[in-house]
Amino acid sequence: MMSRLIVAAFVFVLAANSASADVVERVVATVNNQAIFLSDLRKRAVPFLPQVADAATETERMSRLKDLYEELLTVLIDEQLIRQLATSSGIRVTDADVDNAIENIRLQNNMTEDQFKEAIDSQGFTYAQYRKDLKRQLIRLKVMNERVRSRVNVTEEEVRARYEQRARGEGNEVRFRVSHLVVPVAEGASAIQVAAKRQEAESLRGVLTPENFNARAAQLGGGELGWITQGDLPEDLERALVPLSPGEISRPVRGGTGFHIFFLQDRQVGSDFPSYEEMKQELYREMLDSAMLRQEKIFLEEMRRKAVINRML
């Protein structure tokens, strides 16, 4: 009981100190000559103060508080940079935008308005603070969608590879039912001869269809390979199969004996594992979110380098 009272008292003192900063302000950073104040930093720190107060000693508490302030100051600097960019770019978030976002969040969580406000209050926020924080997030989202989204491209091939990587990670075998044909290249062929064979393979690929592939393969000495698993083919050839969907024909790919062209008739993952179509959208969103986070980090680093930032904490 006594330890809880000490923690509560510590949090109260820090919060009281935050309030006193409203009278005597101190600048803790400037971003392109726009100030960030100590009161802003202290207000942002309030939800995290119980974690600071849990430290065993006063020295550790002060160390935690210092680290917290340093981390939050970086957040405030980034937010200032984003606000400045939003202003210069004419990007705005209206009260109606915030209202719509709150309504969507409330409905997604199946809450009444009173339940939603109680949930906000239980996290240590006032409703006004929540709206302000949500507006900051929406501004950031709009800026990132406009400036960063174009840098991100998740391809079908990458999603397919992630799906099969996950399947293998759970002990499922990936199998391909494949036909192939080869445009042979003689051992020791010159660069000109190899280029001519490549052109021959490209021309052949142009007239191949799922309907005529096996017949043409039989004429040229190829045919059906049946079911193969990953690892059965050399890596360079296998890479040609990974992005294909059933019914598709690969581009010519150079192998040890010539230029190979594959027709993927079917592909399977272990019978207990969800199909690619079932997981495709989920994996795409995961990969898109991860790529966006990486690009946002790079974008913010670029903005910091271009800005004039002074930290005075």
Burial class for 295, CB neighbours closer than 10 Å (0-12, 13-18, 19+) = middle
pLDDT for residue 104: 94
Across the chain, where does the E strand assignment appear? 27-31, 34-37, 175-184, 223-229, 253-254, 258-268, 309-311
Facing residues of 268 across strands?
Answer: 175
Q: Which is nearest to 31 in space by CA: 79, 91, 72? A: 79
Facing residues of 181 across strands?
Answer: 261
Token digits for 145?
């969608």
Q: Map tokens 């020791």 to a residue.
A: 188
Share of the chain above pLDDT 90, in %: 57
Q: Which is nearest to 275 in space by CA: 201, 138, 166? A: 166
For residue 196, give Cα distances in angstroms to 145, 186, 217, 255: 46, 12, 20, 15
Residue 14 has pLDDT above 80, yes or no: no
Q: Give domain 175-268's CATH number out of 3.40.50.2300, 3.20.20.70, 3.10.50.40, 3.40.449.10.
A: 3.10.50.40
Tens digits of residue pLDDT in 165-209: 888 778 777 888 999 999 999 988 999 999 999 999 999 999 999
- Rounded average pLDDT over 290-297: 94
Tens digits of residue pLDDT in 102-147: 999 999 999 999 999 999 888 877 889 899 999 999 999 999 999 9
The confidence band for 46, taking pLDDT boundaries of 50, 70 and 90, is confident
In degrees to the nearest 10, what's the CA dihedral of 20, 24, 27, 28? -30
Residue 48 has pLDDT above 50, yes or no: yes
The confidence band for 20, taking pLDDT boundaries of 50, 70 and 90, is very low
- Rounded average pLDDT over 198-224: 90
Question: Where do you find CATH 3.10.50.40 in the chain?
Answer: 175-268
Alpha helices in 21-126 (DSSP H): 38-45, 49-53, 58-89, 95-108, 113-122
81 or 225, which is more confident: 81
Task: Tell me if the pTM is above 0.75.
Answer: no
Share of the chain above pLDDT 70, in %: 92
For residue 33, give Cα distances in angstroms to 77, 86, 309: 12, 17, 8
Residue 24 has pLDDT above 70, yes or no: no
Across 132-269, where does the E strand assignment appear? 175-184, 223-229, 253-254, 258-268
Phi, psi dihedral angles at 186 (to 5 degrees): -65, 145
